[in-house]
Structure 1
């Protein structure tokens, strides 16, 4: 069930690539240009994932599984040969993003088909596996680049992905007789959602969440190196600790959501994330920054897992849940696309030659506080109209 882990891990570990590209491979490119590579990859993963839902319903699971794995491995291998910006963009952003998009939604949909009583537990395990993939790739990157160079490091990652595909494809296909039977494909658009205030407030909440969420993961290594003078290795280990903490954060968010409600827990995580991003401004020592990175990874994990869980509670018709969630995710994917590049444009160089990340920190913190505010509105509105109690 960890089909999506290697590929989502690449998205979560992009901060390692951001730092390396800026220092070496794409040093002539701006922070914004380099950020576009990671955000386009994440955007395509979500957007293609939404569009692939009807294909899954129509019974094309096997084709999507094979094509998706092929595109991801191809993209990784082509990245190892890339030397110019457009080559990196096409291989890492476009090719890998398209392949991962074909795999992501079907891998989650299988959980709903194969699990009933323990579905939430299965979802938590699979989503936590993303952090495992992220940590694994960052450690490989950190250890191998200084010894064998960037091309062979990426090829090694490609072989890991190929191995994961070789192990998962036969396992998943062996039980695919259920999912290859065509079912009624869901619609991509439900116009009645545009008149549903809970849907509109939810979409605003996810948009502001995703526009600020990913930014620290992108800039933790570069901040550690440029501002705090950490070595490249230690800067990457700081990102490893942050991603590793998100593993436990995803599990904790599920428990918190169970007892306090998904929307209320989401609001708390967004508030904590916004405050942490703003406190980042005052951090000037390596030890404090490492502590910040770990705490950030733990609390930010809920910003990924809780929104999907919250949506099921506010959807008036579960037969339209997939369609409406896809519509909301399509809007939110735009936030994923533009958040980090805009933040990168706010990175400036002071008169003394030091790099200032104040714009990055404010961008992430302010938008996460906006997200917490919208979550509060969503919580109050759901409490009022659904009459389901405060734990919604």
Structure 2
């Protein structure tokens, strides 16, 4: 184990600490025996220090822009449906944001392995440039194809170039406190999801849609620059890992169950994000407040990303995920369903749902990468991460349009959409129980 004298000599610059490398045989043994992995990782991972926390800050900045925009798509959809794209149905408009979300995650199939092989700078720098450019082009659009090309295609690919490496880099610096570190980093997306909807609603009447988005683009330019300056990797490039999807990972029952759970999360997560503003308008909520409701959900999500990460490091990452996903199902099928079924506005019930669901759903963002890291060899984490989210991206592509089709089939009633959302979380809950059982056993008191 690293002694205090070792740490002090490293910090003072007298002794250069070599990058940790483990033989393939030890790595294989670690994957089979997580208890041994924990001991070895506690030796190798800094789990703190200026460099490690600066990486967390860089990841936070990257998340504020990329994931902040992802968390705000409901506001953009509601605005476009009432203005430039008013002649299109909600289902048609939803494809703009579904394809954005699909590419956001699907591109990880190559970005993750490239990160393993070449590091993060070749990904984050062009991704940041493309992301800012996509928002500027989005601000100039008037036609459906213009919004689709600028936001869905360019924006989705560019955000993936920023998001995937920022998550993977954080996991290289933390193990024991990985849940806390990743939770703090992902709160950046929650903050962005609070700031951008409020900003959009406040600025559009004053400067118009175009200049509002250009202001958003400038904010993303600043945060992306900080991300590029602060993010760094700790392990040397592993070019032997290859830039391909790792289908063999599905032979690992833990990984297969976790990947299926992630798919179900992505199938459901964006339904409230995308449709709650429209739902509030449908129920008669004031337009200004309806646009601010997504900010309430994302504000609660900030705490839901940080606090479960802190708890997960003590009581188990999978245990915490199981509890919070179960809460998502319960809140959707109770608070949201009741507010939809009852006549009248029922603003109190809506706010209660936004706060409760926002908090519970935050772990779906912050703990999913941590759970994947727990069952993976970190030298190939990027590949496994990319494999998982390329699979889950099919959920982001189809989840919102399916919800829109259900909404259309019910002539604008939201009961079926809400039931679909809650059911996805129930299935996710079941897959997580399987993953925990395969990896840590079936004892209820097991910390896993």
1:3 counterpart SS class: helix
From 246, 256, 261, give the equivalent of 2:311.
Answer: 256
Q: Which residue of 2 aligns with 1:247?
A: 302
Would the aligned equivalents of 1:62 and 1:180 in 2 still touch at CA under 8 Å? no
Question: C-alpha separation between the residues in 2 aligned to 1:118 and 1:367?
Answer: 30
User: Cα distance, 1:290 vs. partner?
Assistant: 1.2
2:83 counterpart SS class: helix
User: Cα distance, 1:167 vs. partner?
Assistant: 4.2
Q: 1:163 to 1:84 in 2, by over 3 A?
A: same
Q: Which residue of 2 aligns with 1:368?
A: 425
Q: Which residue of 2 aligns with 1:338?
A: 398
2:358 counterpart SS class: helix
User: Cα distance, 1:180 vs. partner?
Assistant: 11
Between 84-93 and 370-379, the greater mean CA deviation after superposition: 370-379
User: Cα distance, 1:299 vs. partner?
Assistant: 0.7
1:390 counterpart SS class: coil
Question: C-alpha separation between the residues in 2 aligned to 1:89 and 1:186?
Answer: 34
User: Cα distance, 1:49 vs. partner?
Assistant: 3.1
- Aligned-residue Cα RMSD (Å) equals 2.5
* Unmatched tracts of structure 1, length 5 or more: none
Q: Which residue of 1 aligns with 2:416?
A: 359
Q: Which residue of 2 aligns with 1:310?
A: 371
2:298 counterpart of 1:238: no
User: Cα distance, 1:89 vs. partner?
Assistant: 0.9
Between 109-118 and 248-257, the greater mean CA deviation after superposition: 109-118
User: Cα distance, 1:371 vs. partner?
Assistant: 1.0
Question: C-alpha separation between the residues in 1 aligned to 2:356 and 2:338?
Answer: 15
| CA deviation map 1:184-212 (0-9, x unaligned) | 25233345423322222222222122211
User: Cα distance, 1:31 vs. partner?
Assistant: 1.6
Larger Rg: 2
Q: Which residue of 1 aligns with 2:15?
A: none
From 345, 348, 367, give the equivalent of 1:287.
Answer: 348
* Unmatched tracts of structure 2, length 5 or more: 1-57
Give me the TM-score of the superposition, normalised by structure 2: 0.79
Q: Which residue of 2 aligns with 1:323?
A: 383
Q: Which residue of 2 aligns with 1:347?
A: 407
| CA deviation map 1:233-270 (0-9, x unaligned) | 10122111110000001112112322331212211112
2:135 counterpart of 1:76: yes
2:15 counterpart of 1:15: no
Give me the TM-score of the superposition, normalised by structure 1: 0.89
User: Cα distance, 1:360 vs. partner?
Assistant: 1.3
2:259 counterpart of 1:199: no
Q: Which residue of 2 aligns with 1:89?
A: 148
| CA deviation map 1:301-353 (0-9, x unaligned) | 112222222223334x55444333322221111111111111011113878xx
Question: C-alpha separation between the residues in 2 aligned to 1:58 and 1:308?
Answer: 19
